[in-house]
Structure 1
Amino acid sequence: MLKRYVLYLILCCCTTSVLAQQRPQYTQYIFNNYLLNPALSGIENYTDIKIGHRSQWSGFENAPKTSFLSAHWNLNGDYLWRNPLSLPEKGDDPMSRSYTQNYTSSPAHHGIGIIAVTDKTGPISRFDGGFTYAYHLQLSGTKNLSVGVYAGLSRIALDYSAISLENQVDPALANAVVSQFKPDVALGVWYYGARFFAGASVQQVLPQKLAFTSSANYNTGKSVPHFFLTSGYKLFIDDEISAIPSVMLRKVEALPMSVDANLKLDYKDKFWIGGSYRSADSFSAMAGFNFKNLLNLTYAYDFTTSGLNTVSNGSHEIVLGFQLNNAYQVFSGGRSWR
């Protein structure tokens, strides 16, 4: 039969086991909510590109490893306005206290983007890639509402060479399927102003059967929707230091609801530190630098608090961001309340 850890990993990826969710999890989503919500497509006044890697449960054999590339931009190349998508003067702090007090909402505009994610856990690997679109509606002089959609394709594969069998004719692998492609759709909504945001999204909207064999005893796996609800607010401690508390609720069918509580302390949108708590899972420490108007680098370390802490040395996550076509010389790496 399959080794215990292999069977465990397959069940985690292909069923609604109480032990894991089907999509990768991130610690630094609070600085790139676009990964979870397509409604953020084109929210910036530049092309926002991020490349990241996450090594989860370091020290645990065959633990999940995730890499991603995301990029999104607006379709209104000639728009200029005085709000967080631009700057009053080139090089100014884009979200200073005085600037947010004079905030005006963005004109209605369109945004598009691309997302590519690879995730590998033991012998199972997954690739998700697709395109996003969002429309940003101007609700008032200070508020916007955007709605977005993601459409793509997922490839889920099983590497038989990585599986050790005691019985070479194990029925669990009879008529085995090496890989499978599934269509994928996600939906989202995002409400935002100068200092606050609130959003909701759902991934894996289309129900799909997930199985690596046609055997009736082992083909009951399926994909299930992943729901996200998040909100945050920016508080100024003084003219140079701000605090951004935020919260996220995550729900996957057949799993308990997960709650994240986050806090970021920011100095002039140039350097920041932060912390996060994920219920029944981990504490996280985060830090980041913004290098002028082109690059930003962030890092997070998760301290595992679940039962895996006996075999795990924690999780590492690093993200490198690029800001292209940055006409206003925006210094910070994205909206500072994210």
Structure 2
Amino acid sequence: MKKLLLVALLFTAITSSNVMAQLNPLSASYYQNQYLANPAMAGINQGLNINLAYRDQWSSIPGTPSSQAITGDYGFNKVGVGVNLFNDKSGLQRWTRVVGTYAYHLKLNNDQHQLHFGVSLGFSSERLDNEMINGSTNDILIDAYNRRGTYVDGDFGLAYTSGKLTVQSALPNLKHLFKDNDPASMADRSTYFAAASYKLRLGNAADGTGLEPKVVMRGIKGLDDILDAGANLTFINNKLNLMAIYHTTKSGTFGVGMQYQWLNINAAYTTETSALRRDTNGTFEINLRISTF
């Protein structure tokens, strides 16, 4: 009975972390830092971009989910390179992922019409935090889970841009695409990403006001596909922005941001899914982008 209880606790820790990371991607991935969702977007703009993201749950309960991400991408000529570091923790579970990215940006009839290809390759590690375990940490199940080791992982992505229209898709977690026999990772895992957006100019050109509606489809193993639909409203030639996105998990994301010279800062709040709304107060996220060269 004790071992059955421990197995149940391990399963809960594992799946709750994956639910947090996969059902609610970082809000920066929709507009501010699309490289988070698609390796084809690495280096899509010339120069160096460094992005930092931090997300935490508004709750006083110990062990609530939190995520951190650091990305750096550099675009030169037709090539983009990048590094993506992601860390997610929820309860006992710790998930760390580090990948490097190569992207190629192919110009079509002019600079505005381009095809983008990207691939990421690196490592992922999933462990249980012994310091948060109440009881013996010498159990064979805990030891076996933590001894699984780091595994090779990666992503592949495509995109088309025309200056106004962006259509993109990606296959995340390539390790599971070719080898999908890990019982601990059978559910709540992202299987695909597809999105389309279009930039509109509102009013006269001098106002600098624009609107970019976006629709995203995300596949999650073991769950129904998730549709995200929203828009990003910009003012004063992208100096200020307001973002709102509805998710078919019956949650919403709302954000505000500003651009000052080479610095962009964005804050966002995501309400919880309808199933968890009574227990938690949603998540708050802060994102920082530094653009140089």
| TM-score, with structure 1 as normaliser | 0.75
Which of 147, 150, 154 is matched with 2:124 structurally? Answer: 154
The runs of 5 or more residues in structure 2 that have no matched partner are none
Residue in structure 1 matched with residue 227 of structure 2 by the alignment: 259
Q: 1:187 to 1:245 in 2, by over 3 A?
A: same
Specify which structure has the higher proportion of helix. 2
Cα pair 1:59 1:312 within 8 Å, conserved: no
Which of 155, 171, 192 is matched with 2:161 structurally? Answer: 192
Q: Matches of residues 39-58 of structure 1 in structure 2 within 5 Å?
A: 39-56=40-57, 58=59
CA deviation digits over 1:219-245, x for unaligned, max 9?
x32365521001100111112211111
Please report how far the alpha carbon of residue 12 of structure 1 lies from its aligned counterpart in structure 2 after TM superposition.
3.9
Which of 214, 217, 224 is matched with 1:249 structurally? Answer: 217
Residue in structure 2 matched with residue 135 of structure 1 by the alignment: 104
Please report how far the alpha carbon of residue 3 of structure 1 lies from its aligned counterpart in structure 2 after TM superposition.
9.4
Residue in structure 2 matched with residue 321 of structure 1 by the alignment: 289
Helix, strand or coil: the match of 1:308?
coil
Residue in structure 2 matched with residue 10 of structure 1 by the alignment: 14
Please report how far the alpha carbon of residue 56 of structure 1 lies from its aligned counterpart in structure 2 after TM superposition.
3.5
1:29 paired to 2:33: no
Residue in structure 2 matched with residue 222 of structure 1 by the alignment: 185
| TM-score, with structure 2 as normaliser | 0.86
Q: 1:174 to 1:35 in 2, by over 3 A?
A: closer
Amino acid at match of 1:320: L
The runs of 5 or more residues in structure 1 that have no matched partner are 77-108, 212-219, 326-338
**Bigger CA radius of gyration:** 1
Residue in structure 1 matched with residue 114 of structure 2 by the alignment: 144
Residue in structure 2 matched with residue 232 of structure 1 by the alignment: 197
Which of 170, 177, 181 is matched with 1:201 structurally? Answer: 170
Larger RCO, structures 1/2 (Cα 8 Å, 6+ apart): 1
What CA distance in whole angstroms lies between the structure 2 residues aligned with 1:64 and 1:225? 18
Please report how far the alpha carbon of residue 284 of structure 1 lies from its aligned counterpart in structure 2 after TM superposition.
1.6
Q: Matches of residues 37-116 of structure 1 in structure 2 within 5 Å?
A: 37-56=38-57, 58-76=59-77, 109-116=78-85
Cα pair 2:57 2:281 within 8 Å, conserved: no
Q: 1:312 to 1:59 in 2, by over 3 A?
A: farther
Cα pair 1:39 1:147 within 8 Å, conserved: yes
Cα pair 2:127 2:145 within 8 Å, conserved: no
Please report how far the alpha carbon of residue 164 of structure 1 lies from its aligned counterpart in structure 2 after TM superposition.
2.3
Specify which structure has the higher proportion of strand. 2
Residue in structure 1 matched with residue 271 of structure 2 by the alignment: 303
What CA distance in whole angstroms lies between the structure 2 residues aligned with 1:261 and 1:156? 31
Q: 1:300 to 1:74 in 2, by over 3 A?
A: same
Cα pair 2:267 2:285 within 8 Å, conserved: yes
What CA distance in whole angstroms lies between the structure 2 residues aligned with 1:35 and 1:251? 16
